[in-house]
Chain A
Amino acid sequence: MAQSTVDAWDRIISLATLGLGRHSSAIEDLLPDAAVKLPDGTREQWMLRCAAATLLTRLAGRRSVAAAVTLPARAVAIPGQTSPEQTIADAALRRLARLSAEGPKELIGEWFACARKSGKVLPPQWIPPIFETLTPRMRFEYAPVFGDRIHWLASQDARWTIEGLAKEYGEDNWLTGSAQERIAMLRRMRESDPNRGRTWLETTWSTDPPELREAFVQALKMGLSSADEAFLEKALDDKRRGVRLAAAENLARLPDSALVQRSLTRLQPLFAFDPRQSGMLAWASSRKLRIELPAALDKAALRDGMEPKAPADRKIGERSFWLMQMLSIPPLREWLRRFNCSAAELLEAAGRTDYAQEVFGALCAACVRHPDTEWIAALSAAWRARAKDQDRGAAPGIAALLAELPAAARDAQLQVEIAALRSQGSIDVSMQLLTCSDHAWSSATTALAFDALLAQIRESSGAHAALMRSQLESWGRHVEVASAGPAVHRALEKIGPESPWRSAVERLLELVEFRIDMHKELLT
């Protein structure tokens, strides 16, 4: 476009912005190169006509310059790939859009898990809007769902890179990656080759910034083994508190670690169970659990992660607090070995001490760190007894004990607990326990859950019922999809239209049907 046109337009704009009233000079002088001859009319009209002519010239006269063509490299099919990637159906995509907009957000992970299982991919034009709604972690976990086009996009712009997804990553990537990428890489490596992951960590440890070191040590929880002990022990001396705490936590979870041994040594004089009597005396006297409070926390104890000050909201003496921290570290079967007793015996004896409540809490914490079947059974029996006394902590307490178990064991144990709670009549606690159990339930667990639900509805009364109804929706995310559909329908048949449970169960049905539809859309 001729520069003069641009200039003319700019000149007119500046004149017009200030206003012609400011200019007393003759109009010919204002725009000497004006294309429009001065017709009849005022200065203002003339100015506007000039503007019109200039505008039209500008618009009509625009001619872009041809240039060297710089096209991006085209996305190519992967060599060796015989069939094009199958794309996910439209209905499923719209469902995902709905989930992203209104939730429940927890189902997005399930949507992607189904998608990944189906082997189908997002149609390429859906990648940009969807990618932006996912966290870097989810993008990494569900990378296959993005198909091959994501790699081409990443080659166009780094924002489409999935962090941690280098096909074969090695020490180079570890050294040069961003913080997020390296954390993702470490986690990934700890899943397949934990020792290699830890070795990477060791190579850059001295130069990594504190926040990153903290995140790395936390990541060592995955694939934790005694091979990591030497490194973690050194990390107990780190400058950054978060690193020390994370290292201590990891070491506490290693049953044979030096840290655990040190805790046991510390506890030796403080936590003792009377020796087992033999013969007649065994029946006459009950064994006593003797508890002494530690006099002080020495440097070694602080180094092992002991916290000197109790949190303000916890009503506990300082020295008791120290003892309970120590007690929550060693694996519980160690006590059975040392004291030649069963878990139930020890628990019962603990209940007769002055510190019954606190010891119980410490033992539960230890059980979470070192899951053990005998102890889980004993501790949950204790929780069940408390449930009968309306202890609100029973359901979350039992759920916490199960949470660290591997998936199948967790589900199986859950069934045991539900049955036990029901047989003692604590049906509302069993419902609460189900609500606290946020893992994917098996069909057996699902059946038990609905059984409990129907029983609860029959006996429904009082305050608990209202709370339960509001939590019923969260069940919908955990029930096993295949069996839940008919189960909810059966439940609805048994619930009259007037029941206060009706709307909650209908919402549950909606959620279950949503998941059923989602599975159908993605997996058929």
Chain B
Amino acid sequence: MEWSRERIEQLAPDAASSKAGLGLAKPAGWRTLGRSDQVIWGECQGSGANPYQVRVALADAGYRCTCPSRKQPCKHTLALLYLYAGGASFPNGAPPAFVEEWLANRAKRADAKATRESQPSAPVDPEAQARRQDKRESRIVLGLEQLQAWMSDIMTQGLANARTQPPTYWAQMASRLVDAQAPGLANRVRDMATAVHSEARWSDRMLGALARMQLLLDAYRSIESLPAPLAAEVRSLVGWTQKQEELLAQPGIQDHWQVIGRRRISEDTLRVQSTWLQGAASHRLALVLDFAVERQAFSSALMLGQVYAAEAVFFPGARPYRALLKNPVPMTGHSLQLTRAVDVAGLESGLATALAENPWLERWPAVVGPVTAAAIGDRWVLQDHQGRHLPMARSLQHGWSLAALTGGDSVNVFGEWDGFEFEPITVQYNAMLYSLEQIEAMTVLAKAV
């Protein structure tokens, strides 16, 4: 795949790095530049005595730089790529020692990984494992009882009273649940702390959160009698997780997976990247989540607008949505289509069906269309051909961008519906995908590459 400026910007950990990389992308600042078939390299004169040595593998964007930066990929790596994408001169030649070493190490690591994966993992002592699980189970049951008492107390004292409680009120319950090895429930309690202090509709949100929690407690208590997918969902919500290696060992759905949406959110030091995929043949929707701490780069390099041939393995649950992609291979020459668009009635009945399978569903991904964006009062809605309205998220300021783009034409929109508001993620218009992107200080509907 071509290396374009947009691709490099997507690789950058943040806008500042991207800009710094651009600033360094001048041939004058590089002592050496060179390439072979697979690799480009360069030596960048930094502020230190010795130049920084950068290597980038063109095929899979593997990279390494000797600078001490904690942000990865560093500005030197980005600069080298910008030079390359900008057409600077990289003389063909035999790689110097520092590049050969790196390639050799990479090959060794790849071999070791392949060997590890092909070998059976160390035999798990079934008895010890069963004992651990029993222990965890009893801790969770105790934690649930404490949680139930705490929730009942809120109902007795009232939501208004809960709103006046100090942060420790919530933090303590959450940490007790963490001790009880039920991190999923702990997260829910922390989210309640945010909900109770929100401005709009706080009591709706609070009661909704408590109601769902109660349902979860009741479900966990009678988990034996639940159908298997629902039981798996409940366990997962409470906090039982499956190792990624185990998951990857299972069979998945082979398809051409189209990346129809991508979003990055920062919460404190944790950055979350959501990548939405739709199978070209199966029309299944899937969500791949990546996490990065502080300034790490995201491990997954799926590009918006690209199509990948891969196997998608879904996490266990009632309505499998979250997935991992095994060995994604980018496909060229495939165009992307948002398919299986539903109108508003279809979205509403779709949510009903989904809730019947998983009552804890809070956001329902769907492609809606054909719809037009319209401003009703101070809110933006999507209007379908039956005249039904889908209110868009209140925080939406880019309704006008959508209107400007389509000029009143109807389009297909991919987004998430929570039963009250629709949050658009990607728009398809004239066979192009557009996604809301933050470019410097502007939010723009940018074309996906």
Chain A residues near B (Cβ < 8 Å) = 12-13, 16-22, 42, 44-45, 47-49, 51-52, 54-56, 58-75, 90-91, 93-94, 97-98, 100-102, 123-130, 133, 149, 152-153, 156-157, 510
Contact = CB atoms under 8 A, between A and B. Distances in A.
Interface string B331-362: 00000000000001100100110011001000
11 contacts: A13-B204, A13-B207, A16-B207, A17-B203, A48-B211, A52-B359, A55-B212, A90-B6, A123-B405, A125-B444, A152-B407
B401 A153 contact: no
B348 to A, nearest CB: 5
Contacts of B402: 125
Contact of B387 (A69, A74, A102): A69
A22 B158 CA distance: 9
B161 interface: yes
Interface stretch (B119-127, B250-258, B434-442): B434-442
Residue from A17, A44, A125, A130 with most neighbouring chain B CB atoms (10 Å): A125
Interface string B377-420: 00000010111111000000010111111011110000000010
Interface stretch (B130-138, B149-157, B239-247): B149-157
B440 A98 contact: yes
Interface residues of B, number: 65
A45 B434 CA distance: 46
B160 A71 contact: no
Contact of A16 (B203, B212, B345): B203
Interface string B220-262: 0000000000000000000000000000000000000000000
A67 B440 contact: no
Contacts, number: 177
Contacts of A48: 151, 155, 210-211, 213-214
B403 A55 contact: no
A97 B440 CA distance: 6
A37 to B, nearest CB: 14
Interface string B186-216: 0000000000000000011001101111110
B355 A19 contact: no
B405 A64 contact: no
A159 B409 CA distance: 21
Nearest to B447: A90
B218 interface: yes
A100 B441 contact: yes
B374 A67 contact: no
Contacts of B388: 64-67
B383 A69 contact: yes
A221 B239 CA distance: 74
B443 interface: yes
Contacts of B389: 64, 67
B158 A124 contact: no
B372 interface: yes
B146 interface: no
Contact of A61 (B161, B352, B409): B352
Contacts of A16: 155, 158-159, 203, 207
A67 B383 CA distance: 10
B404 A128 contact: yes
